[in-house]
Structure 1
């Protein structure tokens, strides 16, 4: 499993619009092959900053699968107008976890 971490900076005052657009965009990412789960987290100290955490089966499911399907254009159309700057995206592989047997598998 691969965790995609995308740091999102939203244009000030457009947070509510972004969250509404993200609610629509969820169906797009959730239908992508290799998608497992996601979370959208809003920063408490800086309300215009968000983290998008997506669990993918493989790195290629995100980089070659989701990013190259026609539906990705709709994802960008819905969300990119809200970005103050391009998202910073990184991918992580789990090294260790704590908790129950499902900890670290679904977020």
Structure 2
């Protein structure tokens, strides 16, 4: 946990990946920008059209996200949708939520207060 906090303080992005009831949960901490977005892209599960890709991205630890992050999440939405699945966002801080809403990403990927609520929706 200390490494994740250090990453966030240094303007980096740490990603944890877990499986909860067949849903891939990506926990992000830090900043998502052109220098760090690759970590998010690499963490996304491969599309599986036979099983459907269900992904929740926990943004509660994200302090900043620019257009690189928006583009990565749009791409993730397209991949999960093509695989007959879905992408949901959870725990958005106000500054990140404003960015997501400004570009309309919240109309593609629903936003939820918590990971638990995103999985249950």
Instruction: Report the TM-score, using the length of structure 2 for normalisation.
Output: 0.28
Larger RCO (alpha carbons 8 Å, 6+ apart) = 1
Instruction: Report the TM-score, using the length of structure 1 for normalisation.
Output: 0.30
Look at both structures and tell me which one has the larger radius of gyration over its CA atoms: 1
Question: Normalized per residue, which structure has more helix?
Answer: 2
